[in-house]
Amino acid sequence: MKNHYLCNCGQENEIVLERNIQEECFIDDVKLICNFCNNETIAIIKYQLWGTLIDITVIDSFLIDINNQAEYIVEKAYLVSLSSLCELENMLKHAPIDGGNSLNRLFFTQLISTMEAYFYNTIKALVLNNKDIFLNFIKSSKSLSNEKYTIYEYLNTPMLPRERVIKRLNEILYHNLSIVLEVLNNTCNIEIKLNKDDLKTLNEAVRFRHDCTHRNGFNHKGEMLDVFTHLYITRILLIIKDVISSIHKKAIDIELDNNSLRNLLDNYLGYFDDEFTDEAYPYFKHSLE
């Protein structure tokens, strides 16, 4: 019997259980070692007669439910981001003092990329796996709410709304904090309160990342940026970690269902079928008489 769990580093590991003990019921614990970071955790295994598995509980890790891919994506996005931030935090201990050093710029740009990746993966999973959030996203999006399609286009592509939402999700610039926070608040009902100083610092950091990526650390005036000291990068890291953790605490309380959109769109077609049958039934009944 095989199961999987997510280590705190965000990587998936397999749990292989080989039991055939003839006891009525017993509980066992298995030490698990991550294949990627070598971190150890414990799985509590409950069996019943003939070794049939009842339940698995993984301590300090996330047991994967293969029937809920959306929940998996949300948890993995969080763990991968958190693991990356912790890894960067450890690397910063050896960062040069010079705030204009290229290695420091590398650490800094990776911080912003980690934040962007978390926003993208989490928002996409929430929007595409909760029908209320999906509808809110369409309603609150100016481009989507104003799109018009012919009846032929819709009937020819029943999943057209989902395709258009995915396209819009892929178009969002996830380093644009005002857009991301607006989507989280208006669409997912997740309000993240950043104090003015932290929000200003983070927005400024996004602009600095642009200079690092496209101008090799120079601003538009041709001036070399030397703000990337150990203290500055650490502050940005802590702000990002706090934002990600705040979002995750609220995201895990949202009910997700891999089939929510299919059920939502199928309901419209089902309603059409029911309406057609109700209207046509008197004629069918009359012809049978």
**Gyration radius of the chain over CA positions:** 25
Residues 51 and 147 in one domain: no
Q: What is the 3-state secondary structure (H, E, C) of the chain?
A: CEEEEECCCCCEEEEECCCCCCCCEEEEEEEEECCCCCCEEEEEEEEEHHHCEEEEEECCCEECCCCCHHHHHHHHHHHHHHHHHHHHHHHHHHCCCCCCCHHHHHHHHHHHHHHHHHHHHHHHHHHHCCHHHHHHHHHHCHHHHCCCCCHHHHHHCCCHHHHHHHHHHHHCCCCCHHHHHHHHHHCCCCCCCCCHHHHHHHHHHHHHHHHHHHHCCECCCCCECCCCCHHHHHHHHHHHHHHHHHHHHHHCCCCCCCCHHHHHHHHHHHHHHHHHHHHHHHHHHHHHC
pLDDT of residue 116: 97
pLDDT tens per residue across span 9-51: 998 998 876 655 445 556 677 888 999 999 998 887 766 555 5
pLDDT of residue 239: 97
Number of domains in the chain: 2
Asked if residue 235 belongs to a domain, the reply is yes
Contact status, residue 7 vs residue 41, Cβ threshold 8 Å: yes
Question: Residue 11 is part of which domain span?
Answer: 2-63
Asked if residue 23 belongs to a domain, the reply is yes
Residues 132 and 187 in one domain: yes
Write down which residue in 63, 80, 112 finishes a domain.
63
Does this model's pTM top 0.85? My answer is no
pLDDT of residue 65: 76
Residues 254 and 181 in one domain: yes
Asked if residue 281 belongs to a domain, the reply is no
Q: Which two tokens stand for residue 118?
A: 């978390």
Nearest Cα to Cα of residue 206 among 180, 170, 242 = 180
Asked if residue 186 belongs to a domain, the reply is yes
Task: List beta partners, residue 29.
Answer: 44
pLDDT of residue 130: 94
Residues 58 and 73 in one domain: no
Residues 126 and 177 in one domain: yes
Residues 135 and 181 in one domain: yes
Residues 7 and 96 in one domain: no
Asked if residue 43 belongs to a domain, the reply is yes
Asked if residue 188 belongs to a domain, the reply is yes
Residues 30 and 157 in one domain: no
Asked if residue 273 belongs to a domain, the reply is no
Write down which residue in 31, 63, 95 finishes a domain.
63
- Mark the ranges of the chain whose per-residue pLDDT is less than 50: 1, 21-22, 271-272, 275-277, 280-289
Asked if residue 280 belongs to a domain, the reply is no
Residues 203 and 108 in one domain: yes
pLDDT of residue 288: 40
Residues 76 and 102 in one domain: yes
Residues 29 and 79 in one domain: no
Residues 131 and 186 in one domain: yes
Q: Which two tokens stand for residue 167?
A: 């396209």
